[in-house]
Amino acid sequence: MATEGSFWLRLRMSAKIGGGFAVVLVLLVVVATLGLLAVREAVGSFTRVLEADVQAGVDAQRLELLTEQAAEAILEYFLPREVVQDIRVQWEDLFAALSARVHDEAGQQLLSQLYQTQQAFFGLSNEDFAAFTHQNELRALADEAGDLAAPLAAHVDALLEQARQDAVQFSRHAETRIMGAAAVALAVCYVFYYYLSRAAKES
């Protein structure tokens, strides 16, 4: 029989069962909410990686290729100034797009050095017969630009890989939080089951 001093034992069996179900229901809602928030955060993290870092990697590879093409157009194929100007416009547009996506100090430094070198190359190539009269200077600038474009592409790829690892780590943390909340819910359910079983035996 229930004693006067025990609130739990003085409750009716239906109240105990109803309270247990209510607590379980609340815990399930909490676990579901945590799971939904974790999934949304993980999806947002992966989306940021795909939209920003992947595109930066693509732009860096294209910029490296376009830097090589600009050197070849002038030093090997002796293309007319109009064609070189088109390549310059494409290069500058691509450079601007990449600069907007790379924000770390090392990346910005590489971008700045590459821009100065490539602009010097384009400026010198605008002179009449530059491919013949300034061939050595142009080749030196082209080599320097290539030596900067390749590390820049590698640096952006490294940033992409780091972003992917961060996203995976975040997903693991989210999974841990969901599992922890589920474990707490199960523990509380077990406690209620234990006390309800005792109450049923004592009634």
**What does the pLDDT look like over 7-47, one tens digit per residue?**
555 556 556 666 666 777 777 777 777 777 766 776 666 66
pLDDT at 79: 87
pLDDT at 175: 73
Mean pLDDT of 190-203: 67
Nearest alpha carbon to residue 144 among 110, 114, 123, 119: 114
Q: Decide which of 52 and 174 is more confident.
A: 174
**What does the pLDDT look like over 98-147, one tens digit per residue?**
999 999 999 999 999 999 999 999 999 988 888 889 999 999 999 999 99
Lowest mean pLDDT segment, chosen from 94-108, 149-163, 189-203: 189-203
Annotated domain spans of the chain: 7-202
Query: How far, in Å, are 65, 163, 188, 199 from residue 21 at the CA level?
Result: 65, 43, 11, 15
C-alpha 154/C-alpha 170 separation (Å) is 24
Lowest mean pLDDT segment, chosen from 57-71, 74-88, 141-155: 74-88
Count other Cβ atoms within 10 Å, centred on residue 99.
16
Nearest alpha carbon to residue 129 among 71, 57, 65, 75: 75
Mean pLDDT of 62-70: 95
Mean pLDDT of 164-178: 76
Mean pLDDT of 167-189: 75
Architecture of the domain spanning 7-202: Up-down Bundle (1.20)
DSSP secondary structure letters along the chain: ---TT-HHHHS-HHHHHHHHHHHHHHHHHHHHHHHHHHHHHHHHHHHHIIIIIHHHHHHHHHHHHHHHHHHHHHHTS---HHHHHHHHHHHHHHHHHHHTT--SHHHHHHHHHHHHHHHHHHHHHTSTTHHHHTHHHHHHHHHHHHHHHHHHHHHHHHHHHHHHHHHHHHHHHHHHHHHHHHHHHHHHHHHHHHHHHHHHHH-
